[in-house]
A and B are shown apart, each in its own frame.
Chain A
Amino acid sequence: MTMIRVENLKKSFGNLEVIKDMSTVVEEKEVICVIGPSGSGKSTFLRCLNRLEEITGGHVYIEGVDITDPKVNINQIRQDVGMVFQQFNLFPHKSVLENVILAPMKVKKSDRKASEKKAYELLDKVGLREKAKAYPGELSGGQKQRVAIARALAMDPKIMLFDEPTSALDPEMVGDVLDVMKQLAREGMTMVVVTHEMGFAAEMGDRVLFIDGGYIVEENVPKELFGNPQHERTKAFLSKVL
């Protein structure tokens, strides 16, 4: 089943055209890693997938629904599309547990008991059950990011978007977060991951998208894209990061 279909996506900020023309398809249970230099438009691409950025042109279909259609209830769509941010964006005035149960209770109207039970399961999964009553300010970066993942999973999303989830972490914290993501991928979550972790992309990616200058320059299975890049720009980029 096709989870995400992007057709001729365009996005401008004022006169600055960040995404010129991108098209791709993400199937169910696929893990897509998006790589490319800074400023290439890869984060913007990701943020168009749940319309955190208003889309300038083209179409994005989530499970067949065109989210560029203004009549679409985007809040409904977003319940199915979890997102994890580089800067975590945990709610600092709420405890870890409250962060995780907020959306299920307010958006899905689940009762507190069921939401908490689910939250504890998810905190178990990311290894942070004992931090349930802690506040975000008391956590390390890696712990914050794992809570952010649990928070997104609490809505039972069908797709997870990761926007450079390990870029703001100290090196020793990166592994814990990647482990959680790997487990998620193995469980069959459909994932789109913007990342600088080439190791993760090579190991977990079903496909890797190389984005540069507002285009998807090259798209292939990791082995091919990393081992046998076709485009000059891909080669140039990989020679710098590998």
Chain B
Amino acid sequence: MDTIVNAFPYLMEGLQVTLYIFAIAIVIGFLIGLIIALFRLAPLKILNWIAKIFVDAIRGTPFIVQLFFIYFGLNSLEFISLDNTTAGIVTVAINAGAYFSEIIRAGIQSIDKGQTEAARSLGLNSTQNMRYIILPQAFRRMLPTITNQAIISLKDTSLLSVIGVADLTQEGRIQASATFDAFNVYLILGIIYFVVIYLLSMLASFVERKFVLR
């Protein structure tokens, strides 16, 4: 009980850092995903290739290697200087972006081409078609898969503790050694992650029900 009381405030501080990193990274990651998906579907071959290489590179390498490459690798270059939190956000965003792009691409492609034909026949240009017709429908369809990826990315943030980011996991590690009660600290750590992720999925299913395709 003492362990919990002592460690809890620290863990909450760590949770704030985790949520802060997650929130920024997931928004940037989503934008990256959207851009890469549009690249992938663009009529220009060169854009298709850029998108494909990016996705393959991220999918084909472990998250921790990407993190080390960005934090240690890029920082070893003279003209780049990233603190560990920034490096962490960038890595999570890029990693999530690659997976998001595949989800978004599949979502866009799942929309019947008659929708585009109807929109274009009314005089909408291809950007308006994407914005008003295709993406709103695609996003509704993608929501469960997007949530899934967001949860994976949230869990990935725990790896940022390896480069010293004071996130929830890092605070847990510190508390575990400070209190000599690894069992309880890590148990609580797990419960906190679980609760956060549970709330996140509840939020997602609420949004899903609200925007269900009629």
Residues of A within 8 A of B (CB): 50, 52, 75-76, 78-79, 81-83, 85, 87, 89-93, 102-103, 106-108, 135-138, 148, 151-152, 155
CB distance from B10 to the nearest CB of A (A): 46
Min CB gap B171→A, angstroms: 43
B214 close to A137 (CB less than 8 A): yes
Given contacts A107-B124, A138-B214, are A93 and B118 in contact (CB under 8 A)? no
Question: What is the chain B residue whose CB lies nearest that of A107?
Answer: B123
Chain B residues near A107: list those with CB within 8 A. Answer: 122-124, 128
User: Taking A85-B114, A92-B137 as contacts, is the C-beta distance between A78 and B122 under 8 angstroms?
Assistant: yes
A residues in contact with B115, CB < 8 Å: 89, 91
- A93 with B123: in contact, given A52-B117, A85-B117, A107-B128 (CB under 8 Å)? no
Find B214's partner among A82, A85, A135, A155 (CB 8 Å cutoff): A135
Asked whether any CB of chain A lies closer than 8 Å to the CB of B198, the reply is: no
Q: Are A155 and B136 in contact (CB under 8 A)?
A: no
9 closest residue pairs by CB, A with B: A89-B118, A103-B122, A135-B214, A83-B121, A79-B123, A89-B114, A107-B123, A78-B123, A137-B214
Contact A76 B136 (CB under 8 A): no
A220 to B14, CA, bound (A): 81
Contact bitstring B105-132, A, C-beta under 8 A = 1, else 0: 0000000101101111111110010001
What is B's interface to A at a CB cutoff of 8 Å? 112, 114-115, 117-125, 128, 132-133, 136-137, 140, 213-214
- How far, in Å, is A157 (CB) from chain B's closest CB? 9
CA separation between A67 and B2, bound complex, in Å?
A: 79
Q: How many whole Å from B73's CB to the nearest CB in chain A?
A: 44
Whole-angstrom distance between the alpha carbons of A83 and B121 in the complex?
Answer: 6
Instruction: A136 to B115: give the CA distance in the assembly, Å.
Output: 13
CA distance A71 to B54 in the complex (A): 34
Whether B122 lies near A92 (C-beta < 8 A) is no
Contacts beyond the supplied A91-B133, A102-B132, A106-B128: 13 A-B pairs with Cβ under 8 Å: A78-B120, A78-B121, A78-B123, A81-B121, A87-B114, A89-B112, A89-B114, A89-B115, A89-B118, A103-B124, A107-B123, A108-B123, A148-B118
Chain A positions within 8 Å of B133 at CB level: 91
Q: Which residues of A contact B140 (CB under 8 A)?
A: 93
Most buried by B among A78, A79, A106: A106
Q: Are A89 and B123 in contact (CB under 8 A)?
A: no
Interface contact A92-B214, CB-CB below 8 Å: yes
Instruction: Provide a sorted-by-A list of 20 A–B residue pairs whose CB atoms are within 8 angstroms.
Output: A50-B121, A52-B117, A52-B120, A75-B120, A78-B123, A82-B121, A82-B122, A85-B117, A89-B112, A89-B114, A91-B137, A92-B137, A93-B214, A103-B123, A103-B124, A106-B128, A107-B122, A137-B213, A148-B118, A155-B123
